[in-house]
Amino acid sequence: MNRTLTIIKFEYNGYVRSRSWRVTTIIFMLLVIAASSIPHFMALFEKIGAGNEKEKILVVSTSENGTDATSAQEMVSLLEQVSPDYDWYAGKKNDDPKALIENGDYNLVVSYDGGEVYTLYGSGYDFAVYGLQATLDTTLTETLRQNRMSQLPADDQTTLTEIMNSHVTGTIESVGKGGAMQNFYLSYIMLYLLFIILMIYGQFVVTSVVNEKSTKAMELLITSAKPTQLMYGKVIGIGLVAITQFALIGIVGIGGMIVNFSAWEERLPVIAEGIKTANFSPILIVWLAVFFVLGYLIYAFIYAALGATVSKIEDASTVTTLPIMLLMIVFMVSMVAMQKIDSMLVKVMSYIPLSSPFTMFSRISMGEAGAVEGLIALAIEIVFVIAIAWLAAKIYRVGVMMYGKPMNLGEIFKAIRTKGSSRI
C-alpha cells in the first residue's frame, strides 16, 4: 500500500508541477471566465454596433390610393418605431430601387403596393436583407389587417378586434416524477465533462505507460514496486490530477456565474431560469461524484492495460482506438437519448457498466430513476470495476515487460496463462 501511495504521489506531482499542465489549466480557467461573461460581451458588441453608421432604407409606395409621399411616410413612421436601428426614408412611386442601391444612395429599398406582396431590394452581400424580412412581414401584415378592418362597419370592426386580441395561455404542472427540465442542463454539463475527462486523461494514462516503456524506465520501476501497484498508482494519481484541474476550473466557473448572474437574467433569461431551478442537492452531488469516479476507473484501467501492450509512442494511437470508439458511441447515444429520458434504450444503458456513468446519473438528476435503481446500477458498476481492474492488472503485468512488436490480446492472454513465456 505504501508503494502504491508513493506512486500516486509521484504521478500527481509530476503532472501538477509541469508547466504544460499549469498553462493548460490557466487557459481553461480564462475560457470559463469568458464563458460566464457572455452577457457582458453581448452588451459590448451592441455598443460597438450602435456606434456604426445605420443602414439607410428607402420605402417606396406603389399604391394607387392616396399620394405616394403620404403612403410611404406613414409606413416610415411605423417602421421607425418597430426597427429604430435603421434610418428610414420615404420615396416616390417612380424611384428605381435597383439604381438607388447600385449608386450607393441606399442600402435597401422596400417597394410595397399596400396589398399582400412587397419586394425588398438589397445587394447580394448585405445580410440585413434576411434579418429585416421577418420584421417587414409582421409589420406590414398587421398594417394590412388594420386597413381592411377600418373599411368594415363599426360593429364588424369591434367583433374582429375582439377576435384578433384573443390569446391562449398555458401553465406547466409536473405530475409524478419531476425535475426533468430543472436538471436538464446539469445532466448535459455532466455528460460533457465526463466525456472530456475520459478522452484527455485516458490518453495521459496511455502516454505515461508507453513513455516509461520506451525509455526503459519501467525496468527500474518494477524492481521497487509490483506492476499492479504501478498501474493502480498511475490510474489513481492521474485521476486525482483530473479532479484537481476540473475542480479549479469549476470553482472559477461558479464564481464567474455568481458575479455575472444578474447579466444572464437580463440578456439570457431562459438559461438563467434553468440554472435557478436546477436541483443542486447534496445527495445529487454525491451521485455525480460516484459515477464520475467509477466511469473514470473503468476506462482508465482499459487505457492502462492497452498502453502496456505497446512500446512506442507512435503505436499508442492504434491501441486507443477501441476505447475512444466506445466512448464516442456511448456519449453520442447518451446525448440523443436524453431527449427521451424515459425510453427503454436509456433504461437499458443505465445498467450497462460502460454507459451507466453517462445515463444513470441523467435519469436520477432528471427524476426518472430513484435511489433503489441508482444503487442497483452502482452495485453492477462496482463489480465491473473490480473485474476490469483485475483483468487489466493481469494484462499490465505481462505487457510492461514486452518490447518490440506489439502483441494482440490473444497473444497476451496466452502469455498470462503460460508461466515463463519467452516473451515475458
- Are 275 and 130 within one domain? no
**Whether pLDDT at 209 is above 80:** no
Burial 161-173 (b: 16+ CB within 10 A, else e): eeeeeeeeeeeee
| pLDDT at position 67 | 45
- Are 28 and 86 within one domain? no
- Are 27 and 70 within one domain? no
Cα separations in angstroms, 60 against 78, 81, 127: 14, 18, 21
- Are 262 and 138 within one domain? no
Mean pLDDT of the region 229-238: 86
Question: In DSSP terms, which residues pair with 87 in a beta bridge?
Answer: 56
Q: For residue 309, give the nearest of 386, 373, 398, 230 by alpha carbon.
A: 398
Last residue of a domain, one of 108, 133, 160: 160
**Whether pLDDT at 200 is above 50:** yes
- How far from the centroid of its chain's Cα atoms is residue 92's Cα? 51
Whether the Cβ atoms of residue 182 and residue 274 lie closer than 8 Å to each other: yes
Q: Give kind and range of the element (H or E) at residue 392.
A: helix 371-399
Percent pLDDT > 90 in the chain is: 8
Q: Name, of 28-32, 59-63, 169-173, 323-327, the range with top average pLDDT.
A: 28-32
pTM of the model: 0.65
Instruction: Beginning with the edge strand found earlier in the chain, give each strand of the sheet holding 56-61 in spatial order.
Output: 87-90, 56-61, 108-112, 118-122
Which residue's C-alpha cell is 429520458? 341
| pLDDT at position 128 | 61
The count of other CB atoms within 10 Å of the CB of residue 271 is 14
Per-residue model confidence as pLDDT tens digits over 373-409: 989 999 999 999 999 988 888 887 777 666 556 666 6
Burial 72-110 (b: 16+ CB within 10 A, else e): bbebbebbeeeeeebebbbbebebebeebbeeeebbbbb
| pLDDT at position 279 | 64
Mean pLDDT of the region 190-219: 77
Which residue's C-alpha cell is 460597438? 48
For residue 403 the three cell numbers come to 518490447
Percent pLDDT > 70 in the chain is: 79
Per-residue model confidence as pLDDT tens digits over 252-298: 988 988 888 888 877 777 677 767 766 667 888 888 889 888 989 99
- Are 385 and 249 within one domain? yes
Mean pLDDT of the region 48-52: 54
Per-residue model confidence as pLDDT tens digits over 148-176: 787 888 777 788 777 777 777 665 455 55
- How far from the centroid of its chain's Cα atoms is residue 227's Cα? 38
| pLDDT at position 27 | 92
- Are 273 and 403 within one domain? yes
**Whether pLDDT at 76 is above 80:** yes
Instruction: Name the amino acid, one letter, at 66.
Output: G
Residue 312 placed within a domain: yes
| pLDDT at position 424 | 41
Per-residue model confidence as pLDDT tens digits over 112-128: 887 888 888 887 655 56
**Whether pLDDT at 130 is above 80:** no
Domain that holds residue 283: 2-40+178-417
- Are 318 and 208 within one domain? yes
Last residue of a domain, one of 96, 130, 160: 160
| pLDDT at position 244 | 92
Per-residue model confidence as pLDDT tens digits over 87-98: 889 888 888 888
- Are 229 and 348 within one domain? yes
| pLDDT at position 23 | 92
Q: Name, of 67-76, 173-182, 330-339, the range with top average pLDDT.
A: 330-339
**Whether pLDDT at 5 is above 90:** no
